[in-house]
Chain A
Amino acid sequence: MFRHFTMRQALAACLCLLSLAAPAADLPPAAAGTPHVRARLVAAVDAVVPGGEILLGVEQRIIPHWHTYWRNPGDSGVPTRIDWQLPAGAEAGDIRWPTPQRFVLGPVTNYGYADEVTLLAPVRVPEGLAAGSRFEVRASVSWLVCREECIPEEVELGLALPVVAGGAGRGDPAVDRALARLPAAAPWQAGFVQAADGSLRLRIEDGAFRPGRPASAWFYPETWGRIAQSAAQPLSVSEGALELQLAPGSAPPPPGEALRGVLVLGEATADGERLSGFELAAAPAAGAAGEGEVGLLAALGLALFGGLVLNLMPCVFPVLSIKALSLLRHAELSPWQKRLQGLAYTAGVLVSFALLGGLLILLRAGGQAIGWGFQYQSPVFVIAVAYLMFGVGLNLSGLFTVGASAAGIGSSLAARGGYAGSFFTGVLATVVATPCTAPFMGAAIGYALGQPGPALLAIFLSLGLGLALPYLALAAWPPLQRLLPRPGAWMERLKEGLAFPMYGAAAWLVWVLARQGGANAVLVALGGMVLIAFAGWLYAATRGGSLWTRHGGAGFAAAALALALIGGGAGVDAVAVDAAPRAESAAGDQPWQPYSAARLDELRRAGKPVFVNLTAAWCISCLVNERVALSDNGVLEHFRERGIAYLKGDWTNRDEAISRYLAEFGRSGVPLYVYYPPGAASRPVVLPQLLTPDIVRQAVGNENPVSTSTNLKES
């Protein structure tokens, strides 16, 4: 683009040149040498803009055969250290380390750099710098440089960058070279299992892997002692999966913690081996020998119990109550027929859960990052469930009845006295139950998702059995039926009353849609509901007429219904795509910042305490926790007093980064609350899935002050 220089910019540029020509007397030079390393302070830009962020770098040119160290130096050595002295208000982030290489000296293995390396660091430029002034940066850089002997060295470097109002140009090409050498974000999810003797097996699945590709692999752990640095790392690559065997080190990963580091894969090419580095956070595999994991039996038990609790969820309870009432109505049925009703209902639930489980297995095989409640990340699914709730509500309110059955009780699908009716009530119960993930189901489903297909299915079926159990027991055991109140007119009133939880659920789902797709999605959803209500009314109104009227009415009603479903689905899908950036995270004065792995990493490296809340609009327990505990003024004050950064991740829509973070903690769904105490090496604490202000205040920020030296021991 062509750009005109204003007089002011030209003047500023002149001033800069003048000031560059006469640097402040105390600013050290940008380049300095030691007997082994020539160091240079470089910038990605040739000028700074107030309020912006720039990348600075320290380039090391190392004499042949010598090396400096990576963040984890390996068996011996010390990482290069940069101490920044920046103008007031400016802030430097942690070093971004290029992919390291290995140096092996007998039984000692080190990780570091030979020949040339540039260590980058982001620097925030404060607001309110005057254009034309100079932004002066000083860096004390110390390193250990080794061949066989090791020499600690230190230099002072300085750089002055002109401040401009806008339009800074490109800086030193060394920065681009360094960026190209940074490890890339890993495009796959990695997991590891830890055997009883502590040895680790790192496993990554990707369709592109096949024997010989990659040809080599080496894992560089970010933290010292996670593995034995000098031990071989036997690699096996099969069709679609890679496994790396890692010998145990002196400081193995604590239970539940991810194994972080850089994985370097080698590709055989015509010009030799080409290496690429990937930033990796391998999740501990569920079912590994670690503590705090759920075994299959425990998971089945938890799932069964979780399923039972689902019966009490506000959207499930009405469906079941109606079904129970219909048992009373059908006093003429024999006990056996009633039992068959119960079995048909159970079958409906189990088939639905089996389908859900099968779908999860399929998606997982396709490499999707999924989790419990994932269906609700699809706006089409959300609108379909909203319509279903609304339709069932209208039916309960008595706007229309479906079918010829005089029983007339229950939802359209559940109304029939036949076994099909019972079966579909089971399906309906499953559909409405899924969003209400009861707190203790999180662990069981998280475990299920990490399991092979059969175990996953078993856990889902156990969950379904739990859901079906109360009604099954009621149908199978006549003495229980006698405990129910006697039939009467109250049943009709209760039925009508139960319509309101349904409307409530529909209203909530429309709100979820609003979060996913904005105002347009709400319009589409509400328009669809009007059509559904119209279809219901038309259908009912024409029932009593002639054959022709009846068929015409039903036909028009069906057309209106189809329009609502298809139009709603297509419409909401279209608007949801545009609405990807979430309005809420842009707001200015909320007490939290949006979660990102980079932001978390930055805060952690700075040793700041961090509270992470992963939530979704369709997750009821998340919303309750946020309202009751996390919006509590006392809690927010508690956070502020202790300088705890509050990061919030929204999983309402699909988000790979959040799915990966969940997987690191062995979870597959929200909510997840994690607290990182101060200190870069502190252990994260996972909070319960049901929060009260007291739980949060007790779990967060009450650690004893940690001395600086303890923090540094694992750096």
Chain B
Amino acid sequence: MKFNVLAASTAIALGLAAGSACAAAQLDQPAPTFTAQSAAGGTISLDAYRGKTVVLEWTNHQCPFVKKHYESGNIPSLQKEATAKGVVWLQVISSAPGKQGHVDGATAQKLNAERGAAPTATVLDPEGRIARQYEAVTTPHLYIVAPDGKLVYKGGIDSIASNKKEDIARADNYVKLALNDLAAGRKPAHASTQPYGCTIKYAD
């Protein structure tokens, strides 16, 4: 339990070195920017949305946890509600080719139409590049970037980690709460929460 000053300062120095090495997605820091393929064709760049609130939603249509929130209409209605208020909602698909949830742009769009989903756009990230930048680990996994480009939320869709639709009504929807906070000019009360769901199917 006792640490001498030398050891403690070494630890701090090491820690600082480690901290600067991984300038990934950190709260209240500029969110990592990216330019990637859009499911609708063409490219999408995060920088293009500077001045707007952007939601990033990692998804995999075959994941039971994603199904929970799409089949129940929870995420589609949240997408509609948010985009109606001028929020940009980007789905991100990071499943590697040959793995669960990997789709081409056309299929991604068809799936959204079938599910009544209404994101602003769908980002294709088959190499998992953006996912690694953001250290995204689950589907769903959500991030919110404020109009000034800073990351203001990272975590789960809501507070009950289950695959059961009946839990949705009982849960606190962290994304909805965070968007409400931002709209009211506040910092999100729950800025970092535990994401839950399937593991993102990164390339081997």
* Distance in Å: Cβ of A296 to nearest Cβ of chain B: 10
Q: CA A197 – CA B18 in complex, angstroms?
A: 9
The residue in chain B whose Cβ has the minimal distance to the Cβ of A711 is B159
Q: What string of 1s and 0s marks CB contacts (under 8 Å) between B79-99 and chain A?
A: 000000000000000000001
Residues of A contacting B160 in the complex (Cβ-Cβ under 8 angstroms): 709, 712-713
> In angstroms, how far is the closest chain A Cβ from the Cβ of B13?
9
Q: Which residue of B lies closest to A229 (CB)?
A: B137
Using an 8 Å CB-CB cutoff, how does the interface string of A98-120 with B read, 1 for contact, 0 for none?
A: 00000001111010000000000
A152 touches B199 (CB 8 A): no
- The yes or no answer to A573 lying at the interface (CB within 8 A) is no
Q: Closest Cβ of chain B: how far from A194's Cβ, in Å? A: 9
**B77: CB under 8 A from chain A?**
no
Question: Which one of A105, A199, A450, A451 lies within 8 Å of B199 (CB-CB)?
Answer: A105
Given A107-B132, A712-B159, does the pair A150, B192 have CB atoms closer than 8 Å? Answer: no
Within 8 A of A (CB), among B135-158: 135, 137-138, 154-155
Q: Mark A698-714, 1 if CB is under 8 A from B, else 0.
A: 00000000011110111
Interface string of A208-225 (1 = CB under 8 A from B): 000000000000000011
Chain A residues near B155 (CB-CB < 8 A): 250
Least CB distance from B174 to A in Å reads 8
Contacts of B170 in A (CB 8 A): 708-709
Query: In the complex the two chains form, is A663's CB within 8 Å of B1's CB?
Result: yes
Residue B29 CB within 8 A of the other chain: no
Stretch of A70-78, A340-348, A616-624 lying at the B interface: A70-78
C-alpha gap A81/B150 in the complex (Å)? 37
B99: A residues at CB distance < 8 A: 148
Q: B180-204: which residues lie under 8 A (CB-CB) from chain A?
A: 190, 192-204
B4-12, B47-55, B107-115 - the one binding chain A: B4-12
A667 close to B (CB within 8 Å): no
- Say yes or no: B12 contacts A76, CB within 8 Å: no
Residues of chain B within 8 A (CB-CB) of A148 are 99-100, 199, 201
CA distance A452 to B8 in the complex (A): 12
Assembly CA distance A78 to B100 (angstroms): 19
A245 is an interface residue with CB less than 8 A from chain B: yes
A110 close to B194 (CB less than 8 A): no
A662 to B65 alpha-carbon distance, docked (Å): 42
* Pairwise interchain contact A203-B1, C-beta atoms closer than 8 A: yes
Residues of chain B contacted by A77 (CB below 8 angstroms): 196, 199
In the assembly, what is the distance between CA of A152 and CA of B190, in Å? 27
**Interfacial residues of chain A within 181-211, with CB under 8 A of chain B in the complex:** 189, 191, 193, 195-199, 201, 203, 205
Contact with A along B98-125 (1 / 0, CB 8 A): 0110000000000000000000000000
Are A196 and B16 in contact (CB-based, < 8 A)?
A: yes
- CB of A709 within 8 A of CB of B171, answer yes
Query: Any chain B CB within 8 A of the CB of A384?
Result: no
Most B CB within 10 A of own CB, among A148, A195, A707: A195
A595 to chain B, nearest CB (A): 22
User: Is A90 located at the chain interface by the 8 A CB criterion?
Assistant: no
In the bound assembly, the distance between CA atoms of A149 and B98 in angstroms comes to 12
Determine the distance from Cα of A142 to Cα of B164 in the docked complex, in whole angstroms: 11
A146 at interface by CB-CB < 8 Å: yes
B60 to chain A, nearest CB (A): 9
The count of residues in chain A whose C-beta lies closer than 8 Å to any C-beta of chain B is 50
Contact for A714 among B16, B194, B197, CB less than 8 A: B194
B78 at the interface (CB under 8 A from A): no
Q: Tell whether, in the assembled complex, residue B14 and residue A151 are in contact, meaning their CB atoms are under 8 Å apart.
A: no
Q: Is B19 a contact partner of A197 (Cβ separation < 8 A)?
A: yes
Instruction: State in angstroms the CA–CA spacing of A149 and B100 once bound together.
Output: 7
* Contact residues of B: prevailing secondary structure: loop
Contact with A along B46-84 (1 / 0, CB 8 A): 000000000000000011110000000000000000000
Is A463 an interface residue, CB under 8 A from the partner?
A: no
Chain B residues, Cβ within 8 Å of A251: 192, 194
Q: Is A283 an interface residue (CB 8 A)?
A: yes
CA A197 to CA B15, docked complex, whole Å: 6
Q: Given that A713-B159, A714-B194 are contacting pairs, would A107 and B137 also be in contact in the complex, using a CB cutoff of 8 Å?
A: yes
B43 in the interface, Cβ–Cβ < 8 Å? no
Minimal Cβ-Cβ distance residue in B for A284: B1
Q: Are A713 and B194 in contact (CB under 8 A)?
A: yes
CA–CA, A225 to B27, complex, Å? Answer: 14
Residues of B within 8 A of A197 (CB): 12, 15-16, 18-19
A253 to chain B, nearest CB (A): 14
| Contact B1–A450 (Cβ < 8 Å) | yes
Contact A225 B194 (CB under 8 A): yes
Is B161 part of the binding interface, using a Cβ–Cβ cutoff of 8 Å? yes
Q: With an 8 A cutoff between CB atoms, is B162 at the interface?
A: yes
Cα-based distance from A450 to B3 in the complex (angstroms): 8
Of the candidates B4, B159, B194, which one forms a contact with A709 in the assembled complex, judged by CB atoms under 8 Å apart? B159
Contact with B along A163-197 (1 / 0, CB 8 A): 00000000000000000000000000101010111
Chain A 49-79 residues near chain B, CB threshold 8 A: 75-78
Instruction: Evaluate contact between B137 and A195: CB separation under 8 angstroms.
Output: no
A75 touches B199 (CB 8 A): yes
Given contacts A195-B11, A195-B15, contact A250 B192 (CB under 8 A): yes
Q: Is the CB of A105 within 8 A of B192?
A: no
Within the complex, what minimum Cβ distance (angstroms) separates B103 from chain A? Answer: 15
By the criterion CB–CB under 8 Å, are B100 and A199 in contact?
no
A107 to B202, CA, bound (A): 8
A713 surroundings in chain B (CB, below 8 A)? 159-160, 172, 190, 193-194
A125 within 8 A of B: no
Q: Is the CB of A78 within 8 A of B163?
A: yes
Name the distance in Å between B74's Cβ and chain A's nearest Cβ: 14
| Distance between B41 CB and nearest chain A CB, rounded to angstroms | 28
Whether the Cβ atoms of B14 and A245 lie closer than 8 Å is yes
Distance (whole angstroms) from the CB of B189 to the closest CB of chain A: 11
Interchain nearest-CB distance for A452 vs B (Å): 5
Q: Are B196 and A78 in contact (CB under 8 A)?
A: yes
Q: How far is the CB of A476 from chain B (nearest CB, A)?
A: 36
Beyond the given pairs A75-B138, A287-B8, 18 more chain A to chain B contacts, judged by CB atoms under 8 angstroms and listed by A's residue number, are A75-B195, A75-B199, A76-B195, A76-B198, A76-B199, A77-B199, A106-B128, A108-B199, A142-B162, A150-B198, A152-B64, A193-B11, A197-B15, A199-B18, A225-B194, A245-B14, A285-B3, A712-B159
Give 18 pairs: A residue, B residue, CB < 8 Å, sorted on A.
A75-B195, A76-B137, A76-B200, A77-B199, A106-B204, A107-B137, A108-B199, A146-B198, A149-B100, A149-B201, A150-B197, A152-B163, A198-B19, A201-B3, A203-B1, A287-B3, A287-B8, A715-B161
Lowest 4 A-B CB distances belong to which pairs? A106-B202, A195-B15, A191-B1, A199-B15
